Structure 1
Amino acid sequence: MYKLVALDMDGTLLNSEKALTSRVREAIKSAKEQGIKVVLASGRPFEGMLPTLKELDLDGADDYVLTYNASLILKVACKSVVSSAILTGQDAIDLNKLADKLGVNILAYSMTRGLITPKQNEYTDYEAKLNGIEYSEFDFNMLDADEDILKVMMIDQEQTLSKAVEQLPKSLQEKYSMARSTPFFYEFMNKNSNKGMGMAALTAHLGLTAEQIICVGDAANDLEMIKYAGLGVAMENGSDEVKANADYITASNDQDGVAHVFEKYVLN
């Protein structure tokens, strides 16, 4: 019997209008009433997830959330840290130099400074607006080497970013957990930070097993948790790689795909 369902947000839980449909909302409500724990797992910062957590009544004392691609796992109500795996200021400095060399923009989430970028650009504007937060322009070379950095993202138009990703040194794979979360975002996290590792940490914390978990997602940063879960589910709108590794492919995020999962595997 499944006891926990983990859901990505963008492209999965939310439709193309970045909204919850009534069918999805009701499916989650019914699952909670049956004692199923529902957890959101997103690349977004906590602030960008909180409105949806509140809308789904997932902001209580016993609710958990995976933020920044599981770089932080928090108890929602008190924001206490269950698990963390983050970067340093030196990582941001080094990746900024590489971004300059490759000709792409960059941003980072600092634990103390919030969302920062070396220069204003449309993709940082998008990230800030999406999550309802502010950002500041900041010279990454001025970061403290040991400053806590949650994640770094290379950001640019799809073709430019794709070309840059192709030129990334192979050595980065040994140093960072990396994933493309949208056509214009490429994310760098701590080597021990991805949604699969995050789900493993939360599963252990809750005394559950992987076989009791359903994970649903659409993009490359969802791949590890889909492979980890007892039932890994890909959205019809998901990437080919995610669908190839899933146990089940549900309908798209514009066709209540998440509700289908609950109705097929949890509510019945």
Structure 2
Amino acid sequence: MYKYIILDMDGTLLNSKKEISEQDKNVVCQLKDEGIRIVLASGRHFHEMQRYFKELHLEDNDYVICCDGQYIYNVAGKQVWNACFLTPQDIDDITTRVDNINTSLLIVTDQKNYLLVESFASRVYCLAKNLFRRWKNIKIINGAKAGKVTRIEKIKINCNNINHAVAAALSEYYNVNEIEGSYELLHKNVSKYSALCKLQRLEYIDLDDAVYIGDDYNDKECFGNLKHCVAMENAPVEVRSMAMFVTENNDNLGVSVALKKIFEVEE
């Protein structure tokens, strides 16, 4: 019998309205109350996850993985671990490898997001959009100012701006995930799976006794290394092919359907 449930959030536990359905919530809470430990593993920042903790009966000593493995927090808000950050040198390296003056990089940090734009015309366009507040909390910068950015969690590049071969080449140096139309580049050592291994070393979790449910490329390493993984129907084919089975999609109670099957939960 499994002792732990590891849940991705967007596309898995959360439906398209960014809500947890009542049935999914009830099944997760029932299993939590029966002694199953719940771990959330998300690309979100900690503060973006907090609203869901009470809904799932999570306690202060439960753990969550944030920013695709950049951080581990307990639910009380104490950061217990953080992985390596990207550096301004990585920005230079990625810019050189992409080699397209019209390609902008979205630099995500723990405090603010920056849009690196080298082309003058593109910078004017971006500034105009920012002026009309279509983008919030994004500062437009050039390469000189990018050299001063610190605590970089990931760098995003629109999939339309680079070809697949370039993205594949970048994956030799970075952890590259294709998420919602963008390539997200993280430090090579940052991933949900690496964070889960850290939790295991902290003796909080035994991954052999855990079931993982996810839906996207940032879950792929977990699917490749964990024994018991379930894919959402809305996951890419490549991810679904690695699962022990495929459940319903995130708008059709996929999490509760899977958990009822695994734990034989009664209606």
TM > 0.5: yes
CA distance in 1, matches of 2:167, 2:138: 29
State whether structure 2 residue 113 is matched by structure 1 residue 115.
yes
Write the mapping of 1:162-201 to structure 2, written as runs, cut at 5 A.
164-168=162-166, 171-182=169-180, 184-201=181-198
C-alpha distance in 1, partners of 2:108/2:199? Answer: 23
Q: 1:139 aligns with which of 125, 142, 150?
A: 142
Structure 1 runs, 4 residues or longer, greater than 6 Å off: none
Deviations 1:187-233 (A, max 9, x none): 11111111222222222223533221111111111111122223111
Query: Equivalent residue for 2:234?
Result: 237
Amino acid at match of 1:88: T
- Label 1:196 to 1:97 Cα distance change in 2 as closer, same or farther (>3 A): same
Would you say the 8 A contact 1:83–1:201 is kept in 2?
no
Q: Find the residue that maps to 2:91 and give its secondary structure.
A: helix
Query: Quick one: which amino acid aligns to residue 147 of structure 1?
Result: T
1:11-160 correspondence runs (5 A): 11-58=11-58, 60-96=59-95, 98=97, 101=100, 103-111=102-110, 113-118=111-116, 120=126, 134-144=137-147, 147-155=150-158, 160=160
Distance in 1 between the 2:184 and 2:22 partners? 31
- CA 81–252 in structure 1, closer or farther in 2 if over 3 Å, else same: same
d(CA) in 1 for partners of 2:90 and 2:246? Answer: 36
Provide the secondary structure at the position in 2 that maps to 1:77. Answer: coil
> For the Cα contact (< 8 Å) 2:175–2:189, is it kept in 1?
yes
Q: Spell out the pairing of 1:241-252 with structure 2 (5 A cutoff).
A: 241-252=238-249
Per the TM alignment, residue 139 of structure 1 is displaced from its structure 2 partner at its CA by 3.2
How far 1:95 moved relative to its partner?
2.6
Measured after TM superposition, the shift of residue 154 of structure 1 is 1.0
Distance of 1:101 and 1:246 partners within structure 2: 37
Asked if 2 retains the 8 angstrom alpha-carbon contact of 1:93 and 1:141, the reply is: no
- What letter matches 1:9 in structure 2? M
Which of these two proteins has the greater Rg computed from alpha carbons? 2
Q: What is the distance in 1 between the residues matched to 2:235 and 2:241?
A: 10
- Aligned residue type for 2:86: L
Q: For the Cα contact (< 8 Å) 2:177–2:185, is it kept in 1? A: yes
What is the Cα deviation at residue 149 of structure 1?
Answer: 0.9
Distance in 1 between the 2:27 and 2:144 partners?
48
Q: What letter matches 2:74 in structure 1?
A: K
Contact 2:71/2:79 (<8 A) preserved? no
> Do the aligned residues in 2 keep the contact of 1:210 with 1:228 (CA within 8 Å)?
no
Partner residue of 1:262? 259
The whole-number CA distance in structure 2 between the counterparts of 1:33 and 1:180 is 35
Distance 1:87 1:23 in 2: 39
The TM-score, its normalising length taken from structure 1, stands at 0.83
Query: Contact 2:32 / 2:57 at 8 angstroms: preserved in 1?
Result: no
> Displacement, 1:100?
6.3
Alpha-carbon contact 1:90-1:145 (below 8 Å) kept: no
Cα distance change of structure 1 residues 103 and 137 upon mapping to structure 2, 3 Å threshold: closer
Number of aligned residue pairs: give it.
253
Change (3 A) 1:48 1:141: farther
| Structure 2 residue ranges without an equivalent (≥5) | 117-122
